[in-house]
Structure 1
Amino acid sequence: MNNLNAVGHKHIIGHKELTDHKSPLRFDPDFVYISAVDNKGLPLKDKLAAGEKVLRGTVLGTRPDFSIPVISSVSGTIKEVKKLFNSTLGRPTDFFVIENDKKYEAVDRPLLKDDISKEEFISAVQNAGLVGMGGAGFPTYLKYKTNKKISYLIVNAVECEPYLTTDYKALQERLNSVIVGMEKIVKTFGLDKAYLCFKKSKKDLIEPVKKALQGHDKLELHLVPDVYPAGYERTLVKFVLKKTYNVLPIEVGAVVNNVETIAQIGDLFIGTENLGFRTYTFSGDALKNNNNVICPVGTLIGEIIKFLGGYNTEDDVMIVIGGPMTGKAARSEEIALMNNNSGITVFNIKKLEHEYKPVACWHCGKCIEVCPSSLQPVLIRMALGREDYKSADKLGIMSCVSCGSCSAICPSHIDLAQDFAKGKLITKIKVGTKK
């Protein structure tokens, strides 16, 4: 199944107005909870013990999966290591519990020099523990540690997921760090061009960004249509470079980074007070107050919901880690925010059940029209319904990127994306596909 040719072309209601006009709020928790395992569930190497004092930026241990450090987001004391639900792994794992002294004293981290080698850049990014902040959390240094020629940097600030506005706020609040990060990468790797991408609908950002880019000949603003999923990596590369690839963007000479990640790279050169912090959007129809919140990584979801005034309903609510299109439902409020989380959306379950009660499929084909991977969701669902996993595999279920476009467009309110997420797991087991 060819998943290279389609691009997103469906506008969806974003609900960005709930938070995009508000100044972010600052929250200082009494405790933070930092994962003590890697993304495979393996314990960190050289892990610190309970009772040890830490500073903001102290290495708590090293991830064995990608050899990157896990750092403390606050200064204080490690009180214990306890089990907490891990939103990345979907099960309880060990977490450091760090009491925040709220002084936020930081480790001494020398700034990077203007003229550094590729190897020095890669080492610095690795030692800083930087990971992608747009969702996947892939270690940033690995994108640059390649034998292939990097010609283009694409900075993704498209943020097409409904409700979330953290990338928008990054361009408002941290534009200088973004520009510095882009410029240093261009210089270090000898790039042909670096593109800063966001939607045409963000009209208030266009002139400030154009002004900031003046004098930077190889940095360019690239506006994309207000469609979903324009921020999906494969779609964005096609919008910008008019090229397609098989597995990774480096095949067409490109590296794609989230705008927050680039801001953190810029901070390595110019210094920052943001070490250990990031901005998270809290939005949805079940919250009393919607806003972006700046807080240390490892803050519990429930504490910020309480800080924002709690819920506006006594009905049951659904807490989603991320946005409604690609996010995952949280089991409870006692889940720690991680580096790669962009925000939390909260919905009234009774309202969802009333407005989105599923009915029988009409076989209208709208899901086929919007699929960015050129799949035929209606046929895949039929194959899954009769437990024909070989046919589902042949129809390309493993190429589904879980963007949620099919679920959003379905007039029958069938949650195809959820069906496919389960179907992919079963297909992998039954058919033995390695994708």
Structure 2
Amino acid sequence: MNKIHILLKQHVGSPCIPIVKMNEEVEKGQLIAIPNGLGANIHTSVSGTIVNINGSEVVIRLKENQPDHFIPIPKTETNLEAIKAAGVVGAGGAGFPMHVKYNTTIENGYIIANAAECEPLLGHNVQFMEDHPDVIIRGLNYLMEMTKAGKAYIAIKTKYRKAMLALGRACKDEPNIELKYLSDMYPAGDERVIIRELLGITLEPGQLPSSANAIVSNIETIKHAVEAIEQRKPFIEKDLTIAGRVQAHEKILMNQPIGFPMKYFIDKCGGYIQPHGEIVVGGPFTGKHGEEDTPLTKTTGGILVAMPFPNEQRKVGILICECGGGKERLTEIAIGMGAEIVAAERCKRMVEVDGRYRCDLPGICPGQAEKVLKMKKEGAEVILTGTCQD
């Protein structure tokens, strides 16, 4: 492999605007694209030569010898400006620009570290908490200072005992930082679930944590903020979990260069176990179909190699869920199974807010008998659903 593809949209908002030219030599850490409205800076994770630029990506041919060092972001007057310059976005999958989220004041409010690691199989956030709990504590202090928040909570599931103990030791002398515990349910890492469980406030669909005087960020996002502040490091690497039909079965890879293809990381785990099915980029619940050449981005959390789809040539009804399998993904799975979709219904908790369907009470799944019976009447022999716990 001698080329990588760095996508220009790795965040909420519009694709970034490239500021490099064809055949230009670039160095690891160099700024190569800037926001066009809402967005975040994009830097190259490698040294090399620009060989293609289009509306969706910048393609870089790698130098033979890659440096360990990177070009640091410029000196800034504030920590928030450092986070902005580094291009930090929500690394848990949302991709919201961190400098926009934290450009606010929440006096006597709460900074919450989302340590739920909620998707099954994914484990890189847990490993980072076990190995570097001090980074999370420093990050929370930076974020509290930045926003004038009065308290910081770390929301973690008790099953992550080693990480929980490490974080507890790290914050024992921090009077304004506490661990708070989540049950082992999905989606415990949803922002509204965290606010409900920790602060006792039930947000309406569409309401943000700011309505509860709180800001929530996942563990890896806080890590990148600390790197930007302390090391002047741009967001050029991503922590990953690779699992499923790979020789290593399950492997955590930290600090992997953005822009490299999925196959590169699968090969790092010894290659495929045969037979294998599709590549899922993300977690089992909210992940999407990927290809071997799909590039790693700032929001990629997992690379899961699935079993081949079962041959299920029957009539299927799909039950659409906001917390997991949406219509597009469930349709994709049904087609992969060779099934015929004859009915589709939304979970009874889904309500329309500003043109988008949202769960009105995530994590508390209702009975779906009425929906199932309706799809059965429409000819469905089996039901395919996302995350329903009923």
Q: TM-score range by the shorter chain?
A: 0.7 to 0.9
Amino acid at match of 1:304: F
Structure number having the greater helix percentage: 1
Amino acid at match of 2:85: N
Establish whether residue 337 from structure 1 lines up as the match of residue 300 from structure 2: no
Amino acid at match of 1:193: K
1:297, CA displacement in angstroms? 1.0
**Structure with bigger RCO (C-alpha 8 Å, 6+ apart):** 1
Aligned to 1:131, the other structure's residue is in SS state coil
Establish whether residue 320 from structure 1 lines up as the match of residue 280 from structure 2: yes
Counterparts of residues 278-317 of structure 1 (less than 5 Å): 278-284=238-244, 286-289=245-248, 290-294=250-254, 295-314=256-275, 316-317=276-277
Q: Judging changes above 3 Å, is the alpha-carbon distance between structure 1 residues 38 and 261 closer, same or farther for their aligned structure 2 residues?
A: closer
Among 124, 130, 133, which residue is 1:175 paired with?
133
1:401, CA displacement in angstroms? 8.8
Among 95, 101, 108, which residue is 2:72 paired with?
108
| Cα distance in 2 for residues equivalent to 1:210 and 1:66 | 36
1:130, CA displacement in angstroms? 0.5
Please identify runs of 4+ aligned residues in structure 1 that moved more than 3 A: 36-44, 108-112, 146-150, 272-275, 356-361, 370-373, 384-389, 391-397, 400-407, 409-413
| Cα distance in 1 for residues equivalent to 2:109 and 2:236 | 31
Over residues 199-219 of structure 1, what are the superposed CA-to-partner deviations in whole Å (9 max), with x where a residue is unaligned?
100112222211111211111
Amino acid at match of 2:71: V
| Cα distance in 1 for residues equivalent to 2:9 and 2:174 | 41
Over residues 297-356 of structure 1, what are the superposed CA-to-partner deviations in whole Å (9 max), with x where a residue is unaligned?
111001111222221113x511111111111112x2110010111111111124x557x9
Aligned to 1:280, the other structure's residue is in SS state strand
Structure number having the greater strand percentage: 2
TM-score, length-scaled by structure 1: 0.70
Q: Judging changes above 3 Å, is the alpha-carbon distance between structure 1 residues 39 and 177 closer, same or farther for their aligned structure 2 residues?
A: closer
1:263, CA displacement in angstroms? 1.1
| Cα distance in 2 for residues equivalent to 1:371 and 1:37 | 23
**Contact 1:326-1:402 within 8 A present in 2 as well:** no
TM-score, length-scaled by structure 2: 0.78
Give the match for residue 71 of structure 1: 43
| Cα distance in 1 for residues equivalent to 2:383 and 2:228 | 46
Give the match for residue 36 of structure 1: 8
1:358, CA displacement in angstroms? 7.7
Q: Judging changes above 3 Å, is the alpha-carbon distance between structure 1 residues 63 and 308 closer, same or farther for their aligned structure 2 residues?
A: same
1:194, CA displacement in angstroms? 0.5
1:45, CA displacement in angstroms? 2.8
| Cα distance in 1 for residues equivalent to 2:147 and 2:105 | 12
Aligned to 2:112, the other structure's residue is in SS state strand
Aligned to 1:204, the other structure's residue is in SS state helix
Q: Judging changes above 3 Å, is the alpha-carbon distance between structure 1 residues 326 and 74 closer, same or farther for their aligned structure 2 residues?
A: same
| Cα distance in 2 for residues equivalent to 1:172 and 1:263 | 13
1:182, CA displacement in angstroms? 0.5
Unaligned runs of 5+ in 2: 325-340, 373-380
**Contact 1:38-1:63 within 8 A present in 2 as well:** no
| Cα distance in 2 for residues equivalent to 1:272 and 1:353 | 51
1:110, CA displacement in angstroms? 6.1
| Cα distance in 2 for residues equivalent to 1:67 and 1:360 | 38
Q: Judging changes above 3 Å, is the alpha-carbon distance between structure 1 residues 139 and 413 closer, same or farther for their aligned structure 2 residues?
A: farther
Among 121, 131, 141, which residue is 2:89 paired with?
131
Give the match for residue 95 of structure 1: 58
Establish whether residue 399 from structure 1 lines up as the match of residue 358 from structure 2: yes
**Contact 1:36-1:96 within 8 A present in 2 as well:** no
1:393, CA displacement in angstroms? 8.4
| Cα distance in 1 for residues equivalent to 2:243 and 2:364 | 20
Amino acid at match of 1:299: F
Amino acid at match of 1:197: A
RMSD: 3.9
Aligned to 1:414, the other structure's residue is in SS state strand
Aligned to 2:82, the other structure's residue is in SS state helix
1:279, CA displacement in angstroms? 1.3
| Cα distance in 2 for residues equivalent to 1:241 and 1:110 | 38
Amino acid at match of 2:69: E
1:96, CA displacement in angstroms? 2.6
Give the match for residue 164 of structure 1: 122
Give the match for residue 197 of structure 2: 239
Aligned to 2:383, the other structure's residue is in SS state coil
| Cα distance in 1 for residues equivalent to 2:361 and 2:265 | 28
Among 239, 245, 249, which residue is 2:209 paired with?
249
Aligned to 2:111, the other structure's residue is in SS state strand
**Contact 1:33-1:98 within 8 A present in 2 as well:** no
Amino acid at match of 1:81: I
Q: Judging changes above 3 Å, is the alpha-carbon distance between structure 1 residues 138 and 43 closer, same or farther for their aligned structure 2 residues?
A: closer
Give the match for residue 26 of structure 2: 54
Counterparts of residues 372-391 of structure 1 (less than 5 Å): none
Over residues 71-90 of structure 1, what are the superposed CA-to-partner deviations in whole Å (9 max), with x where a residue is unaligned?
1112333233368xxxxxxx
Count of residue correspondences: 353
**Contact 1:172-1:205 within 8 A present in 2 as well:** yes
**Contact 2:316-2:342 within 8 A present in 1 as well:** no
Establish whether residue 142 from structure 1 lines up as the match of residue 100 from structure 2: yes
**Contact 1:57-1:106 within 8 A present in 2 as well:** yes
Q: Judging changes above 3 Å, is the alpha-carbon distance between structure 1 residues 269 and 360 closer, same or farther for their aligned structure 2 residues?
A: closer
| Cα distance in 2 for residues equivalent to 1:323 and 1:296 | 19
